[in-house]
Amino acid sequence: MPDKATVWSRPSAVLGSPFVPSRDSPGGLVFFPIGDDNSQRVRIPFVNLGLITLNGLAFVAELTAHAQGGLGEFVRHWSVVPVDYTQHAGLGGPVPWTLVTSMFLHGGWAHLLGNMVYLGIFGDNVESALGHVRYLAFYLLAGILGGLTQVLTQPHSAVPTLGASGAISGVLAAYVLYFPHNRVLVWFWFRILAVPALVVIGLWAVMQLVSGAGSLIAASPGGGVAYLAHVGGFAGGLVLAWLFMPAEVRAARRNSGPYDA
């Protein structure tokens, strides 16, 4: 699912990277969502649409830098470079602002489009539940927590970390907390199925935790997927979503039984 914080050491190569569902795409290894139940949405998702637009504009800036031969410098300046935070190495851009700017950059078309599909499907309902201002604060805080998790778990890395998936992982956490029984339409082995959000997001969370543990054991110095940024964004998102939870959502959770759909 969300592919944040893909850690790339050769960004010029990334812009031409293929779509590989089993590793770098948001689809992961189980389901690829294509829609969800929007019957509970009561607000137009202005902020979510704005975030998608900003991600697209940032990618245009990356393409422009690539065309001018300056993509490597551009990515390093605006991405999170862990040693800049732990050792004041000064390899990248302004600390701590790169925790925000990095979440609008992506390593390629597949990385961008996959993340925006997830944000479009899950973000609108979360924004409707939280309201526009709280949703924006929630999104940025979840992304920052994902970036900080990457810094704390890879403190000696000089590889730039970028992508929206730390923030989107937080959005998934809020979605499964607020709408656990919502049906999510997923593409699975050439079939479209309606699966409870708890199952779709729960399986994804388990995969990220397992992959994150594996990345600690066998870290790749040349880059890869920053699974622990996903884990940090998701864990932080659960806490933030609980703290930000609107009264009507709390009431709905109290009144619904464990098997209600």
Q: Which two tokens stand for residue 13?
A: 């190569």
Q: How many alpha carbons fall within 13 Å on the CB side of residue 52? A: 17
The pLDDT assigned to 4 comes to: 40
Lowest-confidence range among 18-22, 95-99, 133-137, 146-150? 18-22
The pLDDT assigned to 249 comes to: 86
Lowest-confidence range among 17-31, 87-101, 110-124? 17-31
What pLDDT band is residue 223 in, cutting at 50, 70 and 90? Answer: low
Give strand pairing partners of 224.
Answer: 7
pLDDT mean over 144-153: 94
Distance CA(7)–CA(182), nearest Å, equals: 32
Catalogue all structural domains in the chain, each as residue range(s) with its CATH number: 6-13+41-250 (1.20.1540.10)
- Whether 8 and 159 have beta carbons less than 8 Å apart is answered as yes
The pLDDT assigned to 209 comes to: 85
Distance CA(210)–CA(227), nearest Å, equals: 9
The pLDDT assigned to 214 comes to: 73
Q: Does 63 or 259 have the greater pLDDT score?
A: 63
**Whole-model pTM?**
0.85
Per residue in 58-73, pLDDT (tens digit) is 999 999 999 999 999 9
Encode 181-211: b = buried (16+ Cβ within 10 Å), e = exposed.
ebbbbbeeeeeeeebbbbebbebbbebbbeb
List, in order, residues 6 or more apart from 227 with CB less than 8 Å away: 208, 211, 212, 214, 215
